[in-house]
Amino acid sequence: MTFGQTLKKIKSLEIQSSSNVTKQGLKALSQDIQKNKETHKKLLKTIKTKSKQLSQVRVTEPAIRNGLRYLAQDIKNAKTAEETRKTAVKSIRDYLTKMKKAEQKIAEIGSKRIKNNMTVMTHCHSRVVMSILKKAKKQGKKFKVICTETRPFYQGRTTAKELLSTGIPVTMIVDSAARSVMNDVDLVLFGADAITSDGFLINKIGTSQIALAAKEARTMTCTCCETYKFDPMTLSGDWEPIEQRDSKEIWEKSPKKLKILNPAFDATPPDLITFIICEEGVYNIREASQIMKNGR
């Protein structure tokens, strides 16, 4: 699959979840750089151009922007085209390896929070959340999951199929039914597309409503993500951009003059999140800014 084809698949949501977007996007860029035979100056320009394209294909994805930032930092002292290619490929490989190890560590930590006879709720489809639940299942724990369907692309179906394949009992609900079942839920696990410096969770649209319902029902909520999801741009005052998607995803042939809003994400305030699990451990989400400052 070419770099251009990967961009299209990310944009169309054929490639889903923040972790998968980062993995597939950076792999495609690495392969493109390896095949590039341009002179050093032209190669640097091409890397800059394609990095910008990749960073803008899904604007609410700091994990991929952080990987590109590390790449730019690593290649800045390369003297030749060959050195730049080798350094770039190594930089991307190292970043993806660290992300994989972080996911494994989060699964180890997060699985300890899953207890026998628990009911866990999930929203959308998160690789990290799946890793936690699968790890808990391998440890012999017996629990069940309630997952939302997650409109408009129904990522909850992917979650349901994946969990059922491991033998975990799953019940699916429409997104708006979250409050009606919340009293039966022990823990809500969210993934994350971004964490801001002031502790806001940026995640699939509907997250904030579920978190609010959980607080009312006194149900614990947890977001699970690698530190690479923390957005350093928010340290300097920038707001996390919220991607606005095509209205046709909601209603392809809608009535004329009907205005449709289709935000892909929302921002959940830190007061609605009980704790955050990252590869560094379990924290209050307000500590996110300090974790970010301690990062690379």
Per the residue annotation, which of 124, 222, 224, 278 is the catalytic one?
A: 124
Which residues sit opposite 121 in a β-bridge?
Answer: 146, 188
Is 124 labeled as catalytic in the residue annotation?
yes
State how far the Cα of 273 lies from the Cα of 214, in Å rounded to an integer. Answer: 9
State how far the Cα of 176 lies from the Cα of 160, in Å rounded to an integer. Answer: 17
CA distances from 224 to 183, 200, 236, 278 (A): 22, 13, 24, 6
Interior angle at CA 17, CA 207 and CA 12, nearest 5: 105
- What's the half-sphere exposure (Cβ side, CA atoms, 13 Å) at 46? 19
C-beta separation of 155 from 125 below 8 A: yes
Per the residue annotation, which of 193, 225, 231, 278 is the catalytic one?
A: 193
Instruction: Write out the catalytic residue numbers.
Output: 124, 193
